[in-house]
Structures are given as C-alpha cells and as structure tokens.
Structure 1
Amino acid sequence: MPFDHNDHYHRLLLRQLPPRCRTALDVGCGTGRFARRLAARGIDVHAVDPSPDALARARAAAAETPGAPPVRYQRADASRLQLPPGHYDFISCLASLHHMPFETVSALRAALAPGGVLAVLGCYPERTPADWAWSLAAVPVNAVARLAVGTAEALGPPGVADRVKAPTAPPTVPLSRIRREAAELLPGCRIRRLLFWRYLLVFRRPDS
C-alpha cells in the first residue's frame, strides 16, 4: 500500500526550518519529494543520494512539473562527501542516517551555518519493552493510514509514481545508543520518539 512513513513527517520537519533559511542540504534525498518541498519555499537545495535510480526519478519528477524550483541533485555517499564548512542553514536526513556511520553527524554539524538546524528523521530497531510498546501502538494506526491513502489514490486521478527500489538496510543501532552518541557529538540536541518506527533529532548550531 502507498502510505509512506517518511512523507507523513514532512510537515513536522518543515517546522524545524530556521528563520530566513536560504540554503539546505537533503541527505539521502531518494526521489526528491522532500527536497522539492524545500525548494518550493525559495530555498537553494543541494540533494544527495547514492542511488542512481532514485536520482533519475527525482530529476524526472522535476522535469514533469513545469515551473518547479530547481534542486541540485548529486550522486554521492554523504559520509564521504566533502561539504563546505558553515554553509547550510538547514540539513535534513530522512530515514538515511542508519545507512552510514552515526559519526557522519559531525561532518553535517560542521557544514551548518551559525544558527543552522540539522533535522534527522531516523529509524531504530525494537530492543526494549518501550520500543515494542510503541511498535504495537503504531500497527493499527499504520493499517488505517495505508487503507485511507490507498483508497484515495484508487479513487483519484492517475498519477506518476516516484517510488523506486533503492538499496535499503534495516536499522541496527538502538535508540538508547543513538541518544548517547548524539549527546556527545551534537551537544544540546533534542531527540523524541515518533510513531511509525521513527525518531526526530533536532540540533541547532549556536549563532556564534
């Protein structure tokens, strides 16, 4: 069914944008849906992903939308990418950080401009009773959401799907360890658990 957990949290992520945001980096952009939403706000967006199939679909989606703001797509592994220091007002990672070493957040932090925000929509495996309780609570809500979205798409006009089979890997780092490492590498960050097997990490670089 077509319900996408990451898309569900787009509006939550957009609420993390700093005032007067001009530049953004979308790490693990996939087919570019969130990158396009950033660009639609007048933000200069640099979007990276290691999957050529996902990037091809992202570029095709932009071409199919007349007047769409441009997004600079690049095929790259963000954990090895040389990023300009202090450049981006906003950096997003949607369900992509678990594909790379968590220490990558240090390079992302260095790439933030003063006052810039790093927002991570992350995945974690169930390891504790609390994890399983949240997972159990998400199952019926997930089923209803999938049914609702599937019905709406079936009854609505035909659209162009931008879902591709990009390489994926299950998360392996438990949320407790993510909290510990984030506290060390991103001092002052906030992490909260979300429904649908996700967490939100928000770090703001000090203005000076």
Structure 2
Amino acid sequence: MAFDHNDHYHPLLLRQVPSGAATALDVGCGTGLFARRLAARGVVVDAVDPAREVIEAAPPAMGVRYRHADITTMDLPEAHYDFVSCLASLHHVPFETVRRLHRAPAPGGVLAVLGCYRESTPSDFLTSLAAVPVNAAARLALSRRPQAPVRAPVKPPAMTLGEVREGAARLLPDARVRRLLFWRYLLVSRRP
C-alpha cells in the first residue's frame, strides 16, 4: 500500500528541527527517506538502523551517512546533534532507550519521536474509528504510487499511550507527548 503513516508525518517532524540545525541523528532510518529529507535542508545526517537489509537498500544521498547498528548498544555521542529523530522505531527497543536519545542533542537541540502505541482506552478507539475512513481514502488516492522494494521490519507496539506518557514523564520531565491521528504519537523534548 502506497500510503505510509510514518511518511505522512514527515512535515510535522521537519517543523521540529531547530533553526540553523547542522547535524542530525535519524534512529530506525529504514531506507532513509526522512534522513534524505533532512539532508535536503542542509543537515548532515547519521542514519542508523538495526536491519541490514534496509541499510543496504537505502539510496546514497549527499549529507547522509548510513550505519547498520543497534541504538541500544552503539556508542552514541552526548550533546552532539542539533536534531534527533526516531520514527516508528522506539517500540522495537526498551522504552528507557529514550533516555539515551535525550542525551544526544546538543544544548538547544531537539529530540522528536514519532511513536506507535497500543490502543487500550475508549479515547484510543474513538481516534482509531476517526482514522479508519481517512486512512482508507488516503490509501485509495495514493494506491498507484510505487512502493519501496524493501520495507523495514515491523513489530506491534506493547505500550499504551498512557504508559508512554508515564514513561516520558519519569524519564524526560520536559517532554511533551501528543496523540496523532494515524495510530501514532509525537514526543518532543528540547534541550535547554
């Protein structure tokens, strides 16, 4: 299917990039579409993914350095990046990994997580109900778009949105978590 929920939110994520950003880390980069969009803005991007097949399928791009690595174990520089993104990949690792990611932005930098959550409350199901017809219309409208030949591995999220909010409040007290329409949330934390 050509409509991709994560790609749909790229403009929202790009609005989180601080003015004058020069460096970024894209965690769970897949085949690198978002990393390339960051690089098109003049940002040098370290794009990391644990799935070798998607890194190998990622097209080369000026300003993007692809790396096959596991974010939970790789050497991650602290206070280094102007922007750190994590698109639909935090639920593949322990949520506490967000603390490591939070230390990676330099002062004034931003951590932006586009995450997936497990539906559990009436509010979740109402949001889902509202998303279904919009999702169907978008998929129908975009059904003729070519699909990526290699897709990143997927895993259903284990944490509810409430658990994500609780975890964020415990680990990143300055973070804001906002529910989004297509079974996603946006977590943003800005380093002072």
Measure how far apart 1:124 and its partner are.
0.4
SS of 2:142 mapped into structure 1: helix
My pick for the range that moved more, 178-187 or 113-122, is 178-187
- Between the aligned partners of 1:186 and 1:79, the Cα distance in structure 2 is 17
- Between the aligned partners of 2:150 and 2:115, the Cα distance in structure 1 is 20
Measure how far apart 1:163 and its partner are.
4.1
Pairing 1:204–2:190 present: yes
Q: Which residues of 2 match residues 98-113 of structure 1 at below 5 A? A: 98-113=91-106
**Structure 1 runs (4+) greater than 6 angstroms displaced:** none
| Cα deviation 1:175-207 (Å, max 9, x = unaligned) | 10110110111111111100110000100011x
Gaps of 5+ in 2: none
SS of 1:144 mapped into structure 2: helix
- Root mean square deviation, CA, Å: 1.1
Structure 1 contact 26–93 (Cα < 8 Å) conserved: yes
Q: Which amino acid aligns with 1:200?
A: L
| Cα deviation 1:3-44 (Å, max 9, x = unaligned) | 000000000000000111011000000010000000111111
| Cα deviation 1:39-84 (Å, max 9, x = unaligned) | 11111100000111111111xx22xxxxx42311111111111111
Name the residue aligned to 1:115: 108
Q: Percent identity?
A: 64
Structure 1 contact 25–45 (Cα < 8 Å) conserved: yes
TM-score normalized by structure 1?
Answer: 0.89
Gaps of 5+ in 1: 63-67, 154-158
Larger radius of gyration: 1
- Between the aligned partners of 2:171 and 2:19, the Cα distance in structure 1 is 24
- Between the aligned partners of 2:106 and 2:75, the Cα distance in structure 1 is 15
Matched residue pairs, number?
Answer: 192
TM-score normalized by structure 2?
Answer: 0.96
